[in-house]
A and B are shown apart, each in its own frame.
Chain A
Amino acid sequence: GAVVSQHPSRVICKSGTSVKIECRSLDFQATTMFWYRQFPKQSLMLMATSNEGSKATYEQGVEKDKFLINHASLTLSTLTVTSAHPEDSSFYICSARDLAGSTYEQYFGPGTRLTVT
């Protein structure tokens, strides 16, 4: 089946620093990847849609200058949390849609737990 990986799985950083999270589709190509955020014991909220070769589309209320997204290839999207603050601590999950597969199914990565101290 389709596999999506994320790196790192956990990261702790100091307030004010930037953190990059990678999302890779391992055995398929994905023109579109999605970034979600999940607070403890809460639901997943879509942050942005990442399109290969073009700018990401951000959901209302998500600061694009704070959450930088780059989708440089058909198998890699990165999310950079710039000048991180403790309130950015969360579980970040990416998903990818298989270019050749089902139109509507998204394959999810294992998530990255970010803690900002």
Chain B
Amino acid sequence: AQKVTQAQTEISVVEKEDVTLDCVYETRDTTYYLFWYKQPPSGELVFLIRRNSFDEQNEISGRYSWNFQKSTSSFNFTITASQVVDSAVYFCALSEARHTDKLIFGTGTRLQVFP
């Protein structure tokens, strides 16, 4: 069965701290896609990244970086030098190749960055 687990319900940090949001997934498929989305207080979901299961290279985009480890079925997200504007709920999601339309979301991690 497919499942996405975000064990951290809420994280609070002070500005400029680094923070890592964990994501562990379960799937029987060998081909799948992993995503991270940001949901600010306004409610809309903002796409951050998509990674396919054959690409284990870590990715960096500005202050954001992602660590994909197939051996531990994890796709963790790190924000470096956090800012108040990073405060939001972050969702990790999975879709399997045979059901590419279906996004299975984790329960989300609420990040609060204090000044």
Chain A residues within 8 Å of B, Cβ to Cβ: 32, 34, 41-46, 49, 91, 93, 95, 97, 102-111, 113
Interface hits, B88-115 → A, CB 8 Å: 91, 95, 100-103, 105-108, 110
- Within 8 Å by CB of A43, from B50, B102, B106, lies B106
In the docked arrangement, what's the CA distance between A113 and B44, Å?
11
- Number of B interface residues at 8 Å Cβ cutoff, please give it: 20
Q: A93-B45, A108-B45 are known contacts; what are 19 more A-B pairs with Cβ within 8 Å?
A: A34-B101, A34-B103, A41-B110, A42-B108, A43-B108, A44-B91, A46-B102, A49-B101, A49-B102, A93-B43, A102-B50, A104-B95, A104-B100, A106-B47, A106-B103, A109-B44, A110-B42, A110-B44, A111-B44
Residues of B within 8 A of A49 (CB): 101-102
Q: Within the complex, what minimum Cβ distance (angstroms) separates B5 from chain A?
A: 11
Contact A42-B107, Cβ < 8 Å, known A91-B43, A104-B95: yes
- Asked if A43 and B42 sit within 8 Å, CB to CB, the answer is no
- Asked if B100 and A105 sit within 8 Å, CB to CB, the answer is no
In the docked arrangement, what's the CA distance between A91 and B106, Å?
17
Asked if B33 is an interface residue, CB under 8 A from chain A, the answer is yes
- Asked if B42 and A104 sit within 8 Å, CB to CB, the answer is no
* 28 intermolecular pairs with C-beta atoms under 8 Å apart: A32-B101, A34-B101, A42-B108, A43-B105, A43-B106, A43-B107, A43-B108, A44-B45, A44-B91, A44-B103, A44-B105, A46-B103, A49-B102, A93-B43, A93-B45, A95-B45, A97-B101, A102-B50, A104-B33, A105-B50, A106-B47, A106-B103, A108-B44, A108-B45, A109-B44, A110-B42, A110-B43, A111-B44
